[in-house]
Structure 1
Amino acid sequence: MRRTARLLLASAALLLGVTGCSHTSPPPEPGVLTVGIGDPAHLLPADLRDQAGRTLVGALWTPLVDYDAATGRSIPRAAESVSTTDRTTWEITVRAGGRFHDGTPVTAKSYVDTWHTVAAEHWAGSGALTEVLRAKEISAPDERTLRIVLDRPFGQVPAVLASPALLPLPESVLASRDWAGFEANPIGNGPFRMAEPWRPGVGGRLVRVDAAPGKAHEIRFRVGDFATQYDRVKAGSLDLATEVPGDRHDAMHHDFADRHAMWPLPEAGYLAFPVSDRRFADAAARHAFAMAVDRAGLAAGPLAQQVDPAAALLPPGIAPGERSGTCRPCTHDQAAAKALLGQAAFTGPVTVYFGAGQGNWARPLADQIGTALALQVTATQRDDATGESADGPVAMTRSPSTSSPQELLAGLARAAGYTDEGFAHLLAAADAADAGTDSGQLYRLAENQLLRDLPIAPLWSGHGHAVWSQRVHDVTATPLRGVDLASISV
């Protein structure tokens, strides 16, 4: 009887032990990187809309060049060289031996065919990308030479060539135009290839194309709740989380003191003032509205620590170097705002318009302005509103496709209905200059004019976050590509 009891107790203890082990994560596999990520809206390079898509595409493709907007420096990647003698005719030499993951070669014609095919379906009115697409000639004189002849000098071609939207697609995909099928199982030319089709809401698996000692040879993506992913990285059961929710933002600096990264995203928010509303014809009224905004409050509140308060018109991810002066319209100063509005003899009520998906911050923005200026200010969604045609200010988000300041500055001026000969001259001079110090200074002059005339006021700029476990090293990120998964050591 006693022996039977002892056996039962031993069996129960063993069962408990087994049950307990079922809740313990298996040890990490050497060379395998597990990554928490959001579900990308799209995986077609020409149609990226979120950080998850940029991160995945950055692993699956290699761009012609990498471009640093702060310095104007470009580093050849899939291109062997990018050259011009007059900034009007550009020649790109494609590296020999490049292949898509389906085994077909990547040639100069791959880019020409991709740009012409995808442009017709995805890039209509897409800002600076049309500077290339409006070219007088885009051709492939031979297998490795890509020639672009523009209708005017444009020094920002390297910044445009770094855009994910200009990544090449295989000929089979261009022929079928099965974009939905392609997004489920993308075929790129980058360091990783898809090992299985992407499963929305679940994730997918990538494997490295060529051996890279010390680096991850396989990446397993897990789609899920960002807070849960953060906690799993902290517990060591997940290697990397590519986004950090607002309620973990402050804790991140303590939980991952030397294992977190923040980087600027190509996303920014603005408030455009309509030329059709004569109340905003006076610059004092425009500056009053801009200075009534508590940008830090928006960042910490409705925007959940995913942005930084704007300190310039050009966000850090696009900016050509640091600004030399302060952005006065970016300053929250309620007393000055009310005084300026009094000078303009402004009368209410006012409606702030916003597009789809922007109500979470546009409505609090309207409340802030109304409280600060003692005006009746409401917010209404109207997707066709622009700073040129609306009968009230327009809250808008801009996500440039390239690192070129030209795309954003020209786009903001168009969005606000702003026309000025001096601004156009400055922008043309900056476009024609060599990428780097000269163009950066000229773009800053164009930006300064927009800040003085203020047809559109900067509000915030987006930033990305990542946290990683102790077994992960060499984590870097860039605005257009997100976390560089190929460089990570495990």
Structure 2
Amino acid sequence: MRLLVLLAALALAVTGCSGSGPARPGVLSVGIREPATLLPADLADQAGRLVTGALWTPLADYDAASGKLTPRAAASIESADRVHWTVKLRPAAFHDGTPVTAQSYVDTWRAVAAAHWVSSPVLTKLLRAREIRAAAPDTIALTLDRPSGQVPALLSAPGLVPLPASVLASRGWDGFAKAPVGNGPYRLDGGWKPGSGGTLKRVGAGKAEEIELRVGEPAAQYDAVKAGTLDLATEVPGSQHEAMHGEFGDRHASWALPEAGYLAFPVTNPRFADATVRHGFALGVDRAALEAGPLAHQVDPAKAMLPPADAPGERSGTCRPCSFDAAAGKALLTQAGFPGGATVYFGPGAEAWTRTLTVGLHKALDVSVTAQAAPRSDQLDGPSTLDVKLATASPYELLSELATASGYTDAVFHQNLALADAAATPEEAGELYRLAENQLLRDLPVAPLWAGHGHAVWAPRVHDVTATPFTGPVLAGIGVS
């Protein structure tokens, strides 16, 4: 008996993932981390977005680079004056069989706006609608407080998907997150099992009949794909980034994440009011050391103020403040008469890379730089690191957040931002966003440090893997042979 138990334990250790076994036809096994939540409006982590991206269908997909809108749950999102917007819905039902109507969205958005969730500012600070109502069972009517061409990008946010009437009435958000009911191509069968995962069953336009979601650590999941006991690993540990090219050939993918890191300066503080000082600090940052060190190859050193997931097309010029030039940075501080000494403040989750940043700044610039947890105050006497996770693909969200974080109030910048918001076409908006970005790079109230990216590897029987910034691998589009 003891021998049988030992053999079973050894078999489990070899697979590297509980519940794994021979591949089953039509069943896709996917390794992920434990999602922070499965409540769409309150998630910002890659695992949560991956799962909810299969459970829900958003109104549309919006590509920041091209400005292209691809209708999904919406048949159209239109406006004649950019103040009054009309959203026409395709016929759809929730997984509990109840219809998805315009009122479903109106009631969901009211609940989101009233909450303190990740996606709440999309409605209260970015959309800013004076009225949202159901004009017909399949028609949502919005009236804004100003003309805005950003509505399609905002309404495509994954956090604004509809919730069924049952949870909107009960407000049982925690229970709903354990057994979510969406309107997407897959439903969650049997609820979510923390530490283990869940099973998605196809109910719409998905390629795999069933998707097994297995919670675990990326290193074990990477090895499980190599061993043939897992079909897809949705995160690759930094230690395997080089090896995956040889071990998986063309069976790997990377994509830009809606995440970025910055160093925000308190521009109203006399010691950091001079842009020369801010440029000096920016040139003293060894971004490659951050990427290879505490950020474990899960990011790319910044090459622009806007990360690829949020940028309107390719940037034409170089980003001088994104380079590492210790001698030039030190010279700028000397030129500006910087008295020396600075504390860099960090928020939750950013301590490790902030401390590495300050050690590098001290070495490069020959000034005393220390790291400290940010106090509960809006008036900081030194720079602060920002770990920004975006809720939408609109550059307006990020640019306005960066200005707020640093106290940057330049009138021309904010005018360009307002004009970009009101622009009639994505092309016109993109040009204005680039003007605003260029001004930030010149005045540098914030210095760009890094942009997040995701990686996935998969087994030979897996095909048609594509990824987007907000969902990662699109589970509904992945086939298995």
TM-score range, shorter chain: over 0.9
Match of 1:307 in 2: 299
Q: Which amino acid aligns with 2:75?
A: E
Quote the offset at 1:121 in angstroms: 1.2
- State the alpha-carbon separation in 2 of the partners of residues 123 and 48 from structure 1: 8
Q: Which amino acid aligns with 1:93?
A: K
Match of 2:177 in 1: 183
Q: Which amino acid aligns with 2:302?
A: A
Match of 1:13 in 2: none
Q: Give a deviation string over 1:16-63, Cα, whole Å, max 9, x none.
A: 999998868743100000010000011111111210000001000000
Match of 1:12 in 2: none
TM-score, normalization by structure 1 = 0.93
- State the alpha-carbon separation in 1 of the partners of residues 381 and 78 from structure 2: 47
Percent of aligned positions that are identical:
61
The answer to whether the aligner puts 1:434 opposite 2:429 as a matched pair is: no
The answer to whether the aligner puts 1:461 opposite 2:435 as a matched pair is: no
- State the alpha-carbon separation in 2 of the partners of residues 18 and 398 from structure 1: 45
The answer to whether the aligner puts 1:374 opposite 2:366 as a matched pair is: yes
Match of 1:340 in 2: 332
Distance change (3 Å), C-alpha of 1:133 and 1:19 = closer
Match of 2:473 in 1: 483
Quote the offset at 1:256 in angstroms: 1.4
Q: Please point out which of 146, 152, 159 is paired with 2:146.
A: 152
The answer to whether the aligner puts 1:172 opposite 2:176 as a matched pair is: no
Match of 1:8 in 2: none
Length, aligned pairs only: 472
Quote the offset at 1:441 in angstroms: 1.0
Kindly indicate whether the alpha-carbon contact (under 8 Å) linking 2:257 and 2:451 is maintained by their aligned counterparts in 1: yes
The answer to whether the aligner puts 1:199 opposite 2:193 as a matched pair is: yes
- State the alpha-carbon separation in 2 of the partners of residues 248 and 199 from structure 1: 28
- State the alpha-carbon separation in 1 of the partners of residues 342 and 11 from structure 2: 62
- State the alpha-carbon separation in 2 of the partners of residues 343 and 385 from structure 1: 31
Q: Please point out which of 218, 221, 225 is paired with 2:217.
A: 225
Secondary structure at the aligned position of 1:196 is classed as strand
- State the alpha-carbon separation in 1 of the partners of residues 132 and 147 from structure 2: 15
Q: Please point out which of 251, 255, 268 is paired with 2:247.
A: 255
Kindly indicate whether the alpha-carbon contact (under 8 Å) linking 2:62 and 2:153 is maintained by their aligned counterparts in 1: yes
Q: Give a deviation string over 1:185-219, Cα, whole Å, max 9, x none.
A: 0000000001111111111111000365xx21101
Match of 1:119 in 2: 113
The answer to whether the aligner puts 1:49 opposite 2:44 as a matched pair is: yes
Distance change (3 Å), C-alpha of 1:285 and 1:228 = same
Describe how 1:99-118 pairs up with structure 2 within 5 A.
99-118=93-112
Distance change (3 Å), C-alpha of 1:20 and 1:248 = closer
Q: Which amino acid aligns with 1:317?
A: A
Match of 1:11 in 2: none
Describe how 1:362-401 pairs up with structure 2 within 5 A.
362-382=354-374, 384=376, 389-401=379-391
Judge which range, 147-156 or 273-282, deviates more.
273-282
Which 4+ stretches in 1 moved above 6 angstroms?
A: 16-25
Kindly indicate whether the alpha-carbon contact (under 8 Å) linking 2:41 and 2:120 is maintained by their aligned counterparts in 1: no
Q: Please point out which of 60, 68, 71 is paired with 1:65.
A: 60
Structure 1 unmatched runs, 5+ = 1-15
Q: Which amino acid aligns with 2:296?
A: A
Describe how 1:17-28 pairs up with structure 2 within 5 A.
26-28=21-23
Match of 1:412 in 2: 402
- State the alpha-carbon separation in 2 of the partners of residues 125 and 238 from structure 1: 33
Match of 1:298 in 2: 290
Q: Which amino acid aligns with 2:479?
A: S
Q: Which amino acid aligns with 1:94?
A: L
Q: Give a deviation string over 1:420-448, Cα, whole Å, max 9, x none.
A: 11011111111111342111111000011
- State the alpha-carbon separation in 1 of the partners of residues 8 and 234 from structure 2: 33
Match of 2:34 in 1: 39
What is the aligned-residue RMSD (CA, Å)?
A: 2.0
Distance change (3 Å), C-alpha of 1:429 and 1:19 = closer
Judge which range, 269-278 or 108-117, deviates more.
269-278
Kindly indicate whether the alpha-carbon contact (under 8 Å) linking 1:293 and 1:365 is maintained by their aligned counterparts in 2: yes
Quote the offset at 1:328 in angstroms: 0.8
- State the alpha-carbon separation in 1 of the partners of residues 41 and 426 from structure 2: 26
Q: Give a deviation string over 1:105-147, Cα, whole Å, max 9, x none.
A: 0001100000001210134895443256521110111100001
Structure 2 unmatched runs, 5+ = 1-5
Kindly indicate whether the alpha-carbon contact (under 8 Å) linking 2:113 and 2:120 is maintained by their aligned counterparts in 1: no
Which has the greater radius of gyration?
Answer: 1
